[in-house]
Amino acid sequence: MPDPQDLSERRARLTPEQRAKLQARLRGGPAAATLPHAIPCRPQRDQAPLSFAQQRQWFLWKLDPASAAYHLSGGLKFVGRLDIPALHASLEALVARHESLRTLFREGGAGVAEQFVQPASDIELPCIDLAGLEAGAREARIADEVRRICATPFDLACGPLLRVALLKTGENEHLLLVVMHHIVSDGWSTQIILDELAVRYRACLQGMEPGLADLPIQYADYAVWQRQWLAGAEGERQLAWWREQLGGEQPVLALNTDRPRRADGKYAAALHSLVLPGELTERLRQQAQAHGATLFMALLTAFQALLYRHTGQTQIRVGVPIANRNRAETAGIVGFFVNTQVLGARLDGRMSLAGLLTQTRDRALGAQAHQDLPFERLVEVLQPERSQGISPLFQVMFNHLRRDHRSLAQWPGLAVQRLDFDEPAAQFELALETWESEDGRVEARFRYARELFEAQTVERLAEHYQALLQALAGHPGQALDDLDILGEAERAQLRQWSENPQQHPDAEPVHRLFERQARACPDAPALLFDETQLSYAELNRRANRLAHRLIALGVAPETRVGICVERSVEMVVGLLAILKAGGAYVPLDPDHPDERLAWMVGDSGIGLLLTQSHLKGRIPGQALSVLALDSLDLAGEPEHDPQVALHGDNLAYVIYTSGSTGRPKGAANRHRSLYNRLAWMQEAYRLDASDSVLQKTPFGFDVSVWEFFWPLMVGARLVVANPGEHRDPGRLVETIRQHAVTTLHFVPSMLQAFLAHEGIEACTSLSRIFCSGEALPAEAQNAVFRRLPQAALYNLYGPTEAAIDVTHWSCRDDGQSQVPIGRPIGGIRTWVLDAALNPVPPGVAGELYLGGVGLARGYLNRPALTAERFVADPFGSGERLYRSGDLVRWNMEGQLEYLGRIDHQVKVRGFRIELGEIEAQLLAQPEVREAVVLAKEGPGGTRLVGYVSARAGQSLDGAMLRERLGRMLPDYMVPGALIVLEALPLNANGKVDRKALPEPELAGSRAYEAPQGDAEAALAAIWAEVLGVERVGRCDNFFELGGHSLLAIRITALLAQRHACELAVRHFFDAPTVKALAAHLPAGGLLAQGSREQRLSEIDSLLSEFEV
């Protein structure tokens, strides 16, 4: 094959006629070798339909008329003697030559927008003299004027859509500021304007004609032709190709942001730039040429790889603008020709960069051969799920541009410099522009939504992009998952955050620490339950007597002993005795169903069970020895401490946790892990003899482990709540006050129930509140600060498979919407990894992997599952890591944020959603006490269902809550149903029992409901007309009936024409039913049907009568 050259550069050198011939050949087909028919001039000169691209711009303007996101702004700096009249005349001639620059947009009689060309007229060129100002004041005024001219909204119906101003900044120094709306111009047009302005200015000074060839057509001619041409066979052929390329499912890019997305999708723009090293650019060109590709394709390849590594998604869609001037007639016209193509990539971790480059090349060339189909037409046909603020089909943009400054040298007597202004509003959450200069240099500009991303996040993104470009240039054979995108400093920072080297080397079994306290302070109160109080010495004696009995029954190290008791003195004595005998306890919560208990008994292989008399019948098993602790005679047993030799790796307890198979699995934890956890906790939070710790967590939940043993190992008091008391906030308040409890734990769900109780302010003894087990809502945290200001609040995290907790965070009143889970405790490693076990950058979501001394041995009798969840450390430590299944990320402070279970990450309407984010917004509502959101499958696919309960004295309205959520969340994240319950059902561990939540009524089961009132009837009639359906009910959803943004615009136009009623397009997203939309219509009702012109005529007649 011949040595390939840069295709883009070669194409750029072609004349317009040659480009048209090339495009015809690329299309293929029997007529490929012939030029398409020329675009004719339209017969009706003053008005025309909108092009497809203009149609989308019209919709976006109607949606948000005040937005500056689609303003094209720039300018020229002149140094030298500027002839202002000549400049003014040149501008007026330019506007006279190009109809687009004097075009307005209005809805016609059928409610469809049209473009209206205005006669050529004088244009304003305001001149502002700033030369006399002091330098600092002058620069400030320049910035103000630039901001004003760029950010002032355009009125597409009234115009003008070209705005210019001239600033005099010195004796011989001027700035020309130019702003246009995108609906009449594009980047190519900007170059035309610059070139023609220079030619006209020179000709004006010389008193000559500029010598510009007549334009064969105007933009409106193209708009008419485009619609006719695409309605034919060629339009269908191209549409079929794009349908095949994009398929039926349209993935949405789940790019992590530093702050939550807004419901309206409006953001200010910010910019980060970097210039690529010259040698890198040259090597990229060479690599591209070696693969028959272009520099543009190489730069896009690296961007796709970047998005893959930051999201983990295997389907990536990027919007790529193309000039769309492949016909000779369009080459010299100012107008909005640019089209956006959706270039998709299918990636997997083992694909090489070279393979991705080849795929990108093939898809780009295929798209180029089918570039005539407007993006807007594609959206209309594919009908992806729509959401205000989310771009359809793609969410990020890539644009490769070339600078052409040759015309700047054509201004006689002037040194001219082109000015680029920062865009005030962001069109997309993230866009990458690569600018190629005449000298071959490439600058990469990341434009991003300022409210979503921290500057350092985008700076880091740019560094990763450059690392991927380096890899593509030097090692294109590397697989995507093997690419090292992290810099050394970033890697060192992650290591510092992820590893806590703190050690507690002198590990001892916790019962030995208790025994030491019993010797040091034998008479100090150790255990309080109901009316019973035991000293350290008495509790130790009772536990010893039972331990000796257990030893006599064969309990030894590694022996698993079951214990099924209610909260009581016997529970504490039994746990201590099992450990003293060298055994490992297996808690069997009597609140669990009999079938579950039977399974746990059989799976754990226990031969001995400790229980209470009234519970003996709950546990089956003929071969099981059973001791009833409340009636057991231990009078003859020794009272001294048993001396059983134990190793740190011996089992301490086996706690069963839910399994994905529906059967619980037993996590086997060691003495070494337990000691590390409790020693860290004491060092961090410092209990002493003056403290009382409330034990209220069911002992089948591992939080109970520290509740039992932490106070007893340091000489504090252990207060055991009565059975069932942990679910009763009123009784908890009484217990806390009665025993001056200083320290307790809540699962967040139970904390919210506790906070709903009116009397908690009386718990003045509380100084430490710990939370774990679920995500802690910021609202619950803030309520603790308000109502229990003397208590410190700590958020801990840890799975049962690692001794109790592995991360910690001291809560603070910082106004943030998310409460972190913090950093690792002593001796623990917390790595956030992607699917290929690569550390992910800060801010990027990944699975949390745990390492260090806290890890459990594994799952009891489940070697395959243990091997699946406890994996080899990929960083070469020789140890294991536990795959938590939890989705987390590092925030900017180096603290972990919990994002939810990986299996709670759902897709609804193609959007990837974290249910925890919706729950957090629900919990932020002042009336809501508890909230949980589920994804439910139904006839219409996956939908979100929310369950809420109200605070004391409050009432909840599901519709009201949905409306509020709609102001803060994208519409696809607003639950379709919100069910109000008295309280959310909790399981035995105090967590929300999702399986016990009621099923919602299916939306599809709703019967037709006729519109009520004139407003609803008028709306329903227009909907039926525009949507082409027989009838519309008051609760029917506009989008579910096939509506889309363009039809929404048409409906608003018809409402205005027939009923003199203005309705904002955005309300279709906020209120997509007839019933809800009618609420946004005028309270005084709609005017009777009739044209606006008729009503204006009637008013005119009435005025004439009064004026007589």
Quick one: pLDDT at residue 1037?
Answer: 78
pLDDT in tens, 185-218: 999 999 999 999 999 999 999 999 999 999 999 9
Helices 52-63 and 1045-1059, axial angle in degrees (round to 10) = 70
Query: What are the tokens at 561?
Result: 């002993």
Q: Residue 658: how many CB atoms within 10 A of its CB? A: 13
The CA-CA-CA angle for residues 162, 166, 172, to 5°, reads 150
Q: What is the pLDDT of residue 704?
A: 95
Output the pLDDT for position 404: 78
Q: How confident is the model at residue 301 (pLDDT cuts 50, 70, 90)?
A: very high
d(CA 663, CA 1035): 43
* C-alpha to C-alpha distance for 476 and 359, rounded to whole angstroms: 13
Q: Which residue type does 898 have?
A: Y
- CATH architecture under which domain 7-35+251-405+420-495 falls: 2-Layer Sandwich (3.30)
Helix and strand element counts for the chain (H, E): 31, 40
Residue with tokens 């956890």: 677
- The answer to whether domain 1013-1096 has CATH 2.102.10.10 is no
Q: In this model, does residue 2 exceed pLDDT 50?
A: no
Of these ranges, 111-125, 998-1012, 1064-1078, the one predicted with the greatest mean pLDDT is 111-125
Picking from 389-398, 761-770, 1046-1055, 1089-1098, which range would have the lowest pLDDT averaged per residue?
Answer: 1089-1098
| Contact assessment for residue 215 and residue 97, using Cβ atoms and an 8 Å cutoff | yes
Band of the pLDDT at 32, cuts 50, 70, 90?
Answer: very low
Q: Which residues pair with 77 in a beta bridge?
A: 175, 417
Fold adopted by 47-221? Chloramphenicol Acetyltransferase (3.30.559)
Same fold: 7-35+251-405+420-495 with 47-221? yes
Neighbours of 554 (CB within 10 A): 12
Alpha carbons within 13 A on the beta-carbon side of 791: 27
How does DSSP assign 607-673, residue by residue? Answer: SEEEE-GGGGGGS--TT-EEEETTT---TTS--SPP-----TTSEEEEEEE--TTSS-EEEEEEHHH
- The model carries a pTM of 0.79
Q: How far apart are CA 262 and CA 266, in angstroms?
A: 7
Q: Cβ contacts of residue 15 below 8 Å, gap of 6+?
A: none
Based on its alpha-carbon atoms, the radius of gyration of the chain, rounded to whole angstroms, reads 36
The backbone region for 105, taken as left when phi is positive above 0, alpha when psi lies in -120 to 50, beta otherwise, is beta
pLDDT band at 943 (very low <50, low <70, confident <90, very high): confident
Cα–Cα distance measured from residue 795 to residue 745, given in angstroms and rounded to the nearest whole number: 10
Tokens of 219: 């933009």
Say if CB 425 and CB 86 are below 8 A apart.
Answer: no
pLDDT at 1098: 47
pLDDT of residue 120: 92
Half-sphere exposure of 25 (CA within 13 A, CB side): 6
The pLDDT of residue 26 is 46
DSSP secondary structure string for all residues of 770-834 = EE-SS--BHHHHHHHHHH-TTSEEEEEE--TTBSS-SEEEE------SB---BEE-TTEEEEEE-
**Where does the pLDDT of residue 12 fall: very low under 50, low under 70, confident under 90, or very high at 90 and above?**
very low
Model confidence at 136: pLDDT above 80: yes
Judge whether 79 and 97 are in contact, CB under 8 Å.
no
C-alpha span between 931 and 919 (Å, rounded) = 6
Looking at the predicted structure, is the pLDDT value of residue 665 above 80?
A: yes
Preceding amide of 384 cis, omega within 30: no
Contacts of residue 136, Cβ cutoff 8 Å, sequence gap at least 6: none
Burial class (CB in 10 A: 0-12, 13-18, 19+), 183: buried
Q: Select from 3.40.50.11540, 3.40.50.740, 3.30.300.30, 3.30.750.24 the CATH code of 913-1005.
A: 3.30.300.30
From 376, 369, 517, select the one nearest 28 (Cα to Cα): 369
- Other CB atoms within a 10 A radius of the CB of residue 405 amount to 13
- Helix (H, G, I), strand (E, B), or coil: what is residue 1078? helix
Confidence of residue 841 (pLDDT cuts 50, 70, 90): very high
The rounded distance, in Å, linking the Cα atoms of 438 and 28 is 33
Choice among 644-648, 729-733, 941-945 with the minimum mean pLDDT: 941-945
The residues that bridge with 174 in the sheet, in sequence order, are 78, 168
Ordered by start, the domain boundaries in the chain are 7-35+251-405+420-495, 47-221, 510-624+652-851, 913-1005, 1013-1096
Segment (H or E) for 845: none
Whether residue 906 has pLDDT greater than 70: no
Cα distance between residue 263 and residue 1070, in whole Å: 10
Q: At 910, is the pLDDT very low, low, confident or very high (cuts 50, 70, 90)?
A: very low
Read off the pLDDT band of 124 (50, 70, 90): very high
Upper half-sphere CA count for residue 644 (Cβ side, 13 Å) = 28
pLDDT score recorded for residue 1092 = 46
Tokens of 807: 């991360």
User: What CA–CA distances, in Å, run from 19 to 213, 221, 961?
Assistant: 19, 20, 56
- CB of 639 within 8 A of CB of 541? yes
- Helix ranges restricted to H, 833-944: 863-869, 915-923
The helix (H) or strand (E) run that includes residue 251 is none
Residue type, 701: F
CATH code for the part of the protein at 510-624+652-851: 3.40.50.12780
> Long-range contact list for 657-666, CB < 8 A, 24+ apart?
657/799, 657/800, 657/801, 663/599, 663/603, 664/596, 664/599, 664/600, 664/603, 665/859, 665/860, 665/862, 665/865, 666/586, 666/600, 666/603, 666/604, 666/859, 666/860, 666/861, 666/862
Strand, helix or coil at 1068? helix
Residue 8 has a pLDDT of 43
Half-sphere exposure of 123 (CA within 13 A, CB side): 26
How far is Cα of residue 607 from the mean position of the Cα atoms in its chain?
51
| Residue 539's pLDDT band (cuts 50, 70, 90) | very high
> Taking 50 as the threshold, does the pLDDT of residue 382 lie above it?
yes
Mean pLDDT value across the chain: 88
Give the pLDDT score at 314.
93
pLDDT at 414 over 90: yes
Res 29: pLDDT: 38
Spatial contact of 388 and 1066, defined as CB atoms under 8 Å apart: yes
Amino acid at 416: V
